[in-house]
Chains A and B, each alone.
Chain A
Amino acid sequence: MIGWLSYPIFFATVASILAIAVLGLNLQWGITGLFNGGVAAFFGAGAYGLLILGGTPQPDHMGGFEWFYPVALLGGVLFSGLLAWIVGLLTLKLRHDYLAIATFGVAVAFENFVRNAEWFSGGAKGMRGFERPLESWIADPFWFNLAFLGVVLMALMGVYALLERLLRSPFGRLLRAIREDEHAAQSLGKTPSRVRLTAFVTGSMIMGLAGGLYATFYAFVSPQDVVPTLTFQVWAMLIVGGAGNNRGGVLGAFLIWAAWTASGWGLSRFAPVELQLYTGTLQYILIGLIIVGMLLWRPQGLLPEKLIMSQ
């Protein structure tokens, strides 16, 4: 019984972590209209930040400060924010596709940095040596995973509540105004550049939180975790779920991650023996079909943006 529950708990944990990253992207793209093509970098900054600050000392890379977990997690989030602030100052003058290319470049640079800077991040073999908090108290892996799912869900609900409030606040209205017509917002005396930077940094810090939780869960992070595929996955989740709608983002994260994993499980279980070797390739085709199908069927996403009249 516990075995059958164990997998759904595991799945929900990873999906919730990804959902947090999707919410961060929703603030940037869905609400403010900033095309961030470098999700993986800000996710990775949170993950590496946590392991450097919260890990145990290792001979071959930096870090091992063994900070108290919540402080280390917050440190990772701030690290993402700092990265986003620098990137934002340099690139937010760019619009749409140019911003996408610039941020994508930042993510590739980040990946190559952590892959090569062995003194900093352990290079390609990754960073380890993190003791998961409370694991010594909750020895049973099932209960630990359940407890950790609780923590992740709390983080997800916290971020969700924050963004929902923000969406209904005058600031949220300002973000949407800038998305729709920057010049109009400017003519009303607003400063779009500063507001865009605020939204970019906040969204990236939310992604950093997701990265920190991810690294906590695996107690390990390597450059393999911050490849552009992650950016694509988070984007697919937001677009399928519905850009501009927080509930849609969370739904999209669960649905796409379910499609991603269930397609592999289904193929391994039901594909004929002679096709088993090709299930990996078939899975890619299935995932692609699902995403393309969703886009054709509901280009606005499953839960489209709702117009909110804020007073």
Chain B
Amino acid sequence: MNLKHLNRFRCGLPILLLGLLGFAGSASAQNCTTKIGAVLPTSVDWGRPIAATAQFAVDLVNEAGGAGGCKIEMVLRDTQVDPKVGVDAAKALVDLEKVPVLLGAVSSGVTVPILTSVAVPAGVMEISCCSSSTAITALAKEGKTKGLWFRTFATSGVQAAVGTMLAKDKGYKSVAVLYKNDDWGQDISKLTAEALRAVGITVTGSIAINDGQASYRAEVTEALKGNPEAIYMALYPKEGISVVREWLSLGGTQNMIMANSLKSDEFRDSVGVKYLKNALGTDTASPRVASASRFVEMYKARFNSEPNGPGLSNSFDATMIALLAMEAAGPNASGAQIAAQVRRVTDPKGTPVTADTAGFRQAKEVLKSGGTVMYQGATGNVSFDANGDVSAPAVSWSFTETGIKEERYISLEEVNAFMNSLN
């Protein structure tokens, strides 16, 4: 055996650990600190900005003096997109760090077991930026979430409807649907195909795109078969890039409709903006609200880039709403007490507050005097239904040379009217 290497390894690890310990002392000393937990897939490239945005919201609130009388510390754990790891992390946060609130997770396959086996039994509030599964709505309807569950990600119905609206406005007669083969993708592709058929557009095929394949030639060829006038893509950037490249190289149409997951600079740069002139996207954000563009400005100031990854504005709003509810619930509140305050800070009739430090200070005053608050967030005026789900106004967007441009704002009323016309 190579002893020299072994020894170096044995020495190296403790030194590394000591180094990590040394840094830990630099945390700021405050009168009191309340911990909140975040279980997010930070080992995945697109998960890291989601966590950074949550931390950003925490920092803004701490500038306003914290929530519930204490500074907030976000303890971040990685889920590795593995349910076992995510549930264990959540359990450790609840039992060892005593967090009253969990932010997360992203994959519904991780979120659901956390909800059923950790959050609900322990009476901890869980709010997710990004889980879209309709299974959670079903759980909430059965009363199994006990009012502890919220998400700022509109269920896929809104985006499916708006995507259909765009296809109809463009006058496409036939559309092929390509979707990421997970719970979100299956949901949204099914809803989109139904909506397209309802307005009389032929769906030439619904093709599942599995993650991490070297080539999608077979899938793309399958999609080409029906000779569609346009394609609808509910894909993530990595797979979206490969699919679109092969699609175009095989002579597929440049008429594309994209879900918000492709709203990424990486996607635009890798495909090439000249091929994306006829590509329209959908999203649930609301750029008309001043606080939404304020979020974009703040994000740019902090991170030096546009908030163009999936789930960023949702993550920001989820964190802000959780902290507002903690403020409303007061010091040492339990998860259930905090969850009960969520409606008070997302009250459509309440005092409007912006999603920044000044807005949080204002909210503190209003809540102290017993009033209610309407949180105007990065995704618009968030309001939850009885199951903890949000509906949202929508936008269509397109790629430009430098970034992403909003094409059209579709108000909540317009979205709802169109969705009703589909049934």
Interface of B is mostly: helix
Smallest Cβ distance from A280 to chain B, in angstroms?
A: 3
The interface size of chain B toward A, counting residues with CB under 8 Å, comes to 62
The answer to whether A116 touches B208, judged by C-beta atoms less than 8 angstroms apart, is yes
A74 part of interface (Cβ distance < 8 Å): no
A261 contacts which chain B residues (CB < 8 A)?
A: 85, 88-89, 92
Nearest residue, chain A, Cβ from B187: A125
A254 at the interface (CB under 8 A from B): no
**B116 at interface (Cβ–Cβ under 8 A)?**
yes
Question: Which residues of B from 160 to 203 have beta carbons under 8 Å from A?
Answer: 181-183, 185-187
| A4 cross-chain contacts in B, Cβ below 8 A | 95-96
Interface residues of A in 215-229 (CB under 8 A from B): 217-220, 222-225, 227, 229
CB of A277 closer than 8 Å to a CB of B: yes
Whether, in the assembled complex, B373 has its beta carbon less than 8 Å from a beta carbon of chain A, the answer is no
* B89 with A270: CB separation less than 8 A: no
Asked if B354 lies at the interface with its beta carbon under 8 angstroms from chain A, I say no
Asked if A283 contacts B78 (CB within 8 A), the reply is yes
> A-facing mask of B87-131, CB < 8 A → 1, else 0?
111011001101000000001111011001100011000000000
Residues from chain A with a CB closer than 8 A to the CB of B117 are: 217-220
Minimum distance in angstroms from B44 CB to a CB of chain A: 8
Q: Is the CB of A270 within 8 A of B43?
A: no
Chain A residues near B122: list those with CB within 8 A.
141
A43 to chain B minimum Cβ distance, whole angstroms, is: 11
A125-B77 contact in complex given A219-B117, A265-B96, C-beta closer than 8 Å: no
Indicate whether A280 sits within 8 Å of B182 (C-beta atoms), given known contacts A7-B96, A224-B82. no
Cβ contacts B205-229/A at 8 Å (1 or 0 each): 0001010000000000000000000
Q: Which one, A220, A267, A269, A276, contacts B112 given CB within 8 A?
A: A220
Binds A, one of B132-140, B311-319, B322-330, B340-348: B132-140
- Residues in A whose Cβ lies below 8 Å from that of B47: 280
Known: A222-B83, A272-B24. A265 touches B107 (CB 8 A): no
Q: With A and B bound together, what is the CA distance between A223 and B113 in angstroms?
A: 13
| Least CB distance, A75 to chain B, in whole angstroms | 22
Q: Which residues of B contact A296 (CB under 8 A)?
A: 1, 5-6, 9
Indicate if A284 sits at the interface (CB-CB under 8 A). Answer: yes
Which of A118, A219, A268, A273 meets B186, CB within 8 Å?
A: A118
